[in-house]
Amino acid sequence: MRAPTRRDSFPRPGLERSLMARRKKIYEGKAKILYEGPEPGTIVQYFKDDATAFNAEKKDVIDGKGVLNNRLSEFFMTGLNQIGVPTHFIRRLNMREQLVRNCEIVPLEVIVRNYAAGTMSKRLGIAEGTQLPRPIVEYCYKDDALGDPLVTEEHIAAFGWASQQDMDDILSLALRVNDFMSGMMLAVGIRLVDFKIEIGRVFDGDFQRLIVADEISPDSCRLWDIETGQKLDKDVFRRDLGSLTDAYSEVARRLGVLPKSNVAKPTLIN
Ligand code: TYD
């Protein structure tokens, strides 16, 4: 581990944004901006500090969220790559950016649930925190204007969003990510209640493969402290439960992504 340098000082979005202005922006979403990558088939993913909830009805800028999510997503995606779950992640470039493989995003939010919470609790009247008999995988159609409606495999097949073979692969990827993430979290005293992933298609010649894309971070997971039940995820923002940066820093600290001594204002380690 090297000593922190000025480049690591927390955070410098203004300067970084001006350096990035020369690059071609491909897409700006709620929490990330995508730029053309340095080589064909690559993309630069920039993590913003913007937080949104309830389909962007609630918005705020949370100092340092982008830096934490960049590091946490790097951590999870690297681990997944190491156990043979393919992801789009290539390498982290700096505090807010990572280089990823360009892929065609399957228009589904793939949700895996281990405990009832959020919309599942509301829809089915199951108390939040109830352990499910087995992990349950749900699919939502990615369309903000429609509020990402829940769909079944029948819709997915009928509208051609993914083939039956794709669905088999997506289910197996989702369950492998769930096992990996559940284990990583359990090891640091955190319960993985649920999470969302997105899946990308990459083409090697005529051959198509599905990989985990987008991000894996406390923005897209529900994470509860096993002992206290304290929420360490985006529900802190959705439900006004305190400092989101503190919650995400705590996750990063427990996983060893941040040094133990520095919780609130992260000085990042390599
Ligand atoms: P869910 O309970 O369906 O929705 P909400 O977060 O609105 O209560 O979400 C399940 C998990 O998936 C939760 O950890 C948040 C995540 N998720 C996203 O990150 N983005 C999405 O668009 C959706 C639908 C879920």
Question: Does one domain contain both 140 and 77?
Answer: no
Let me know how many helices (H) and strands (E) the chain has, helices first: 7, 14
Burial degree of 247 (CB within 10 A; 0-12, 13-18, 19+) = buried
Domain assignment present for residue 230? The answer is no
Residue bearing the bigger pLDDT, 12 or 137: 137
What CATH number does residue 166 fall under?
3.30.470.20
pLDDT above 60: residue 14: no
Domain assignment present for residue 150? The answer is yes
Domain assignment present for residue 2? The answer is no
The best mutation among 76, 119, 248 to test binding of ligand 1, ranked by most ligand atoms within 8 Å of the C-beta, falls on 119
The pLDDT, as a whole number, for residue 6 is 38
Helix %, strand %, coil % for the chain, to 5?
Answer: 30, 30, 35
Report the half-sphere exposure of 152 (CA within 13 A, side-chain side).
1
Q: Which helix (H) or strand (E) holds 30?
A: none
* Dist. CA 214 → ligand 1 center (Å): 14
Question: Does one domain contain both 61 and 24?
Answer: yes
Domain assignment present for residue 27? The answer is yes
Range of the domain at 117: 105-225
Domain assignment present for residue 146? The answer is yes
Binding-site residues, ligand 1, Cβ < 6 A: 109, 111, 117-120, 140, 148, 194-196, 220-222
* Separation of alpha carbons 218 and 69, rounded Å: 7
Question: Does one domain contain both 19 and 46?
Answer: yes
Kindly report, residue by residue over 129-164, the tens digit of the pLDDT. 999 999 999 999 999 999 999 999 999 999 999 999
Question: Does one domain contain both 221 and 202?
Answer: yes
- Rounded to 5°, the CA angle 229-235-239 comes to 105
Question: Does one domain contain both 62 and 121?
Answer: no
pLDDT above 70: residue 259: no
Question: Does one domain contain both 220 and 251?
Answer: no
Domain assignment present for residue 58? The answer is yes
Question: Does one domain contain both 32 and 115?
Answer: no
pLDDT above 80: residue 266: no
Question: Does one domain contain both 112 and 166?
Answer: yes
- Rounded to 5°, the CA angle 26-221-36 comes to 15
Domain assignment present for residue 115? The answer is yes
Q: Under 8 Å CB-to-CB from 218, ≥6 apart: which residues?
A: 68, 69, 72, 232, 233, 234, 247, 248, 251
Domain assignment present for residue 235? The answer is no
Instruction: Report the domain count for the chain.
Output: 2
The pLDDT, as a whole number, for residue 36 is 97
Q: Contact at 8 Å (CB) between 169 and 162? A: no
Question: Does one domain contain both 120 and 74?
Answer: no
Q: What residue's CA is closest to ligand 1, atom 6?
A: 118
- pTM for this one? 0.89
Mean pLDDT of 111-130: 98
Q: Which two tokens stand for residue 41?
A: 């088939």
Q: Which two tokens stand for residue 95?
A: 């505090």
Kindly report, residue by residue over 219-246, the tens digit of the pLDDT. 999 999 999 999 999 999 999 999 999 9
What CATH number does residue 79 fall under?
3.30.200.20
Question: Does one domain contain both 214 and 116?
Answer: yes
E strand intervals along 102-149: 104-105, 108-115, 131-141
Question: Longest C-alpha distance within the chain, in Å?
Answer: 55
Look at the block and give the residue holding tokens 């992260």: 266
Which ligand 1 atom is the nearest neighbour of the CA of 121?
Answer: 2
- Residue 158 neighbours by CB distance under 10 Å: 10
The pLDDT, as a whole number, for residue 17 is 54
* Dist. CA 38 → ligand 1 center (Å): 32
What's the chain's average pLDDT? 91
The best mutation among 194, 199, 215, 235 to test binding of ligand 1, ranked by most ligand atoms within 8 Å of the C-beta, falls on 194
Question: Does one domain contain both 144 and 190?
Answer: yes
What are 255-258's contacts with CB under 8 Å, separation 24+? Answer: 255/72, 255/75, 255/184, 255/188, 257/71, 257/72, 257/75, 258/71
Question: Does one domain contain both 171 and 88?
Answer: no
The pLDDT, as a whole number, for residue 258 is 82
* Separation of alpha carbons 106 and 97, rounded Å: 23
- Going by the DSSP 8-state scheme, the letter that residue 269 receives in this structure is -
Q: What residue's CA is closest to ligand 1, atom 3?
A: 119
